[in-house]
Structure 1
Amino acid sequence: MPICWLVSEDDCHKPIQLHHQQSLILGRGPETRIKDQKCSRNQVELKADCNRGFISVKQLGTNPTNVDSVVVGKGNQVPLKPGQKLYMVNQLYPYTVRFTEDTSTWGSAGERSKPTKRPHQRDSHGHKEENESPASKMSTPSYTEPESNGASVAEKAAPGKAEPAGHWSQGLKVSMQDPKMQVYKDEKVVVIKDKYPKARHHWLVLPWDSISSLKVLKREHCELLKHMHKVGDKMIQQCSDAQKLRFRLGYHAIPSMSHIHLHVISQDFDSPCLKNKKHWNSFTTDYFVDSQDIIAMLERDGKVSVKEGTGELLKLPLRCHVCHKEQPTIPKLKDHLKIHLPS
């Protein structure tokens, strides 16, 4: 089967590999190096058909994405074929699509990609994880993610093959298929443990169905989300600390990882992997939306809407989620949280 590559015409970064019939969401961020605020972090959803030789482009962002001179339009989908140009936003940041027969080459002339350096590891929200300490390695199974829209690389590239840039967002899809990573599964969902848990207990519930993000959910997904919530409750019930600790089940309003995932997380936040303000605010502000609220919104409106400015919540001051007392630093916050831990 041919290999599909998305190639920056501005040569801003190495080609991004698109896997056959797997959705990839791109926009403003490190994988594209686009910093333009008019480009959403989730600007486009791309899906390659390697057999038929084209990419489906769906515009998710508010500002226009173009294929050649045609505006895609928010929520609309158009094909991108070799020879055409994709403009990420406002006729800027051009890309082309190319299909090759080998993962070690790309481009019509068969130009060989140079091996890339191994990316930084990232957690399930796309935040970089550096200098992982031994204390952060839990005894129960965890997931490992290739880099692109939110996680980490655990496997080294095969000898003689370049490691394509820009696919850590697909990491959850890799991990959920690995029996070693699975702590529960049924015909609808699989549960894996967060590789960088932000609390004593932190699982991710993922559907087998390919659903890239909250934005693509429709009313008919309500039953699936209810089942995901039910499975999350099961994980809590089998937990030895279930009677001592409080738990929340919810979704990040603007996740970095492609493939929808429900967080099941204890509220002690007692973990060496909780390192910065973004980690904290992503779980203790309205950036983290309760599972039941997402289901209710979907039942009521037939879609999930994210409030404008939600991303700014990650910059809020550090406040204790129990007593709401502001703390100056993460170490001070962690010391403070000890007074709220169960005895």
Structure 2
Amino acid sequence: MPTCWLVSEDESHKPIQLLHYNTHILGRGPETKIKDQKCSRQQVQLRADCNRGFVSVKQLGANPTSVDDVAVGKGNQVTLKAGQKLYMVNRLYAYSVLFREDSTSSDAAPEKHRPTKRPRQRDVQEEEDPSPARKVSMSSHAERKSNGSAQAENSTPTPEKESAGHWSQGLKVSMQDPKMQVYKDDRVVVIKDKYPKARYHWLVLPRESISSLKVLRSEHVDLLKHMQTVGRSMVQQCPPSSKLGVRLGYHAIPSMSHVHLHVISQDFDSPCLKNKKHWNSFTTRYFIDSDEVITMLERDGRVSVKEGTSELLKLPLRCHVCHEEQATIPKLKEHLKIHLSS
């Protein structure tokens, strides 16, 4: 099995070995030589998957930890891969991660510039299953502990899916790919969801790096209003005969760390909608309307998510039109045809 090492970019201390699937808590202290009081003694939680070639990074401290240019956010989790930089706090104290084949002793620390085999990355987009927290064992989040995320998935996504700043990096790749773009201006980019949960499903993404709803503040109101305007313009692409309309909104506990506005038709006619979590993430209060998010920012200066929101993903399957309960997704989809044809 390969070994994993966290390497200080300024070589202030020896590389720290991250044992496979072990939890490591790092921050200010003798192990990192960091003395900065803004760095908590328990700043980050790291967990390496040596076989798949990535490290799950969860921010524990109050001040921001970053992976490349993406702030993680307290309580959030992202994925660190070879070639990316982990900044312990406030864009300071840079680290890289090295994976190497254990051809010698596991106690032998690698040299800083030892060549490393970089895992193949894919361009990943929407989550397979928006559960409230990253799921470490799930590849699409190596944190199958449903902190609610589906970083979310329900099917075991590949490690590539959970990579890139927990999808935030994957989204950025998609944003820069002309083949993915359906609209762009100087503030936002619109792409089609790779795993659409309806006939029409777009994501409106700000060019500004914003990790999650938690970090949104009053100064972001104008940007979110612009995202909403752009999203509404996408609705014009839906045929007038579209029976059930379109909603614009955000997942309360998104699986990706880069803020994204969903523009989704309410037919939910898609093979990618496979399970209860998919359904409930768009048809319960887990899905917050764009207008409501903007109102919260204007009124409170922040977005509030009620405790227990992640439990909404476990609710019974109910039709979003007539609220009749259905036993399975296939039966629910069959039931929806009644509303689509009426």
Report the TM range for the smaller structure's normalisation. Answer: 0.5 to 0.7
Matched, 1:257 2:256: yes
Equivalences for residues 122-141 of structure 1 within 5 A: 124-127=126-129
Secondary structure class of the residue paired with 2:202: strand
Query: Are the structure 2 counterparts of residues 8 and 265 from structure 1 closer, same or farther at C-alpha, using a change threshold of 3 Å?
Result: farther
Deviations 1:35-93 (A, max 9, x none): xxxx998757532569xxxxx9865139xxxxxxxxxxxxx9556636xxxxxxxxxxx
Cα drift, residue 109 of structure 1: 5.0
Cα drift, residue 262 of structure 1: 0.3
Total equivalences in the alignment: 265
Aligned equivalent of 1:246: 245
**Matched-pair contact (CA < 8 Å) for 1:278–1:315:** yes
Q: Distance in 1 between matches of 2:58 and 2:97?
A: 26
Deviations 1:203-231 (A, max 9, x none): 00011111111111110100110111111
**Matched-pair contact (CA < 8 Å) for 1:213–1:260:** yes
Q: Distance in 1 between matches of 2:295 and 2:203?
A: 20
Query: Are the structure 2 counterparts of residues 221 and 59 from structure 1 closer, same or farther at C-alpha, using a change threshold of 3 Å?
Result: closer
Aligned equivalent of 2:163: 166
Q: Give the partner amino acid of 1:98.
A: S
**Matched-pair contact (CA < 8 Å) for 1:251–1:262:** yes
Aligned equivalent of 2:179: 180
* Alignment equivalent of 1:61, drawn from 52, 75, 87: 75
Q: Distance in 2 between matches of 1:214 and 1:48?
A: 18
Q: Distance in 2 between matches of 1:32 and 1:295?
A: 38
Cα drift, residue 238 of structure 1: 3.1
Secondary structure class of the residue paired with 2:163: coil
Q: Distance in 2 between matches of 1:29 and 1:334?
A: 41
Query: Are the structure 2 counterparts of residues 183 and 31 from structure 1 closer, same or farther at C-alpha, using a change threshold of 3 Å?
Result: farther
Identity of aligned residues (%): 56
Aligned equivalent of 2:156: none
Query: Are the structure 2 counterparts of residues 224 and 7 from structure 1 closer, same or farther at C-alpha, using a change threshold of 3 Å?
Result: farther
TM-score scaled to structure 1, two decimals? 0.63
Cα drift, residue 127 of structure 1: 2.9
Query: Are the structure 2 counterparts of residues 42 and 239 from structure 1 closer, same or farther at C-alpha, using a change threshold of 3 Å?
Result: farther
Q: Give the partner amino acid of 1:46.
A: T
Q: Distance in 2 between matches of 1:27 and 1:328?
A: 41
Cα drift, residue 285 of structure 1: 0.7
Root-mean-square deviation (CA, aligned residues, Å) is: 4.5
Secondary structure class of the residue paired with 1:81: strand
Q: Distance in 1 between matches of 2:274 and 2:230?
A: 28
Query: Are the structure 2 counterparts of residues 49 and 28 from structure 1 closer, same or farther at C-alpha, using a change threshold of 3 Å?
Result: closer
Cα drift, residue 186 of structure 1: 1.3
Q: Distance in 2 between matches of 1:29 and 1:272?
A: 35
Q: Distance in 1 between matches of 2:128 and 2:174?
A: 15
**Matched-pair contact (CA < 8 Å) for 1:212–1:258:** yes
Secondary structure class of the residue paired with 1:331: helix
**Matched-pair contact (CA < 8 Å) for 1:282–1:314:** yes
Deviations 1:17-42 (A, max 9, x none): xxxxxxxxx99999879xxxxx9987
TM-score scaled to structure 2, two decimals? 0.64
Q: Give the partner amino acid of 2:21.
A: C
Aligned equivalent of 2:19: 10
Aligned equivalent of 1:47: 66
Query: Are the structure 2 counterparts of residues 317 and 235 from structure 1 closer, same or farther at C-alpha, using a change threshold of 3 Å?
Result: same
Q: Distance in 2 between matches of 1:32 and 1:237?
A: 44
Query: Are the structure 2 counterparts of residues 171 and 179 from structure 1 closer, same or farther at C-alpha, using a change threshold of 3 Å?
Result: same
Deviations 1:85-119 (A, max 9, x none): xxxxxxxxxxxx3378x999x95455554565889
Deviations 1:276-310 (A, max 9, x none): 11110100011100000000000011011111111
Q: Give the partner amino acid of 2:262.
A: H
Q: Distance in 2 between matches of 1:165 and 1:4?
A: 24
Q: Distance in 1 between matches of 2:294 and 2:196?
A: 25
Q: Distance in 2 between matches of 1:41 and 1:334?
A: 37
Equivalences for residues 1-343 of structure 1 within 5 A: 9-12=18-21, 46-48=65-67, 60-61=74-75, 78=90, 81=93, 97-98=95-96, 107-110=110-113, 113=116, 124-127=126-129, 150=151, 166-167=163-164, 168-169=166-167, 170-241=169-240, 244-342=243-341
Deviations 1:153-210 (A, max 9, x none): xxxxxxxxxx898325121111011111001111111110001110111000011111
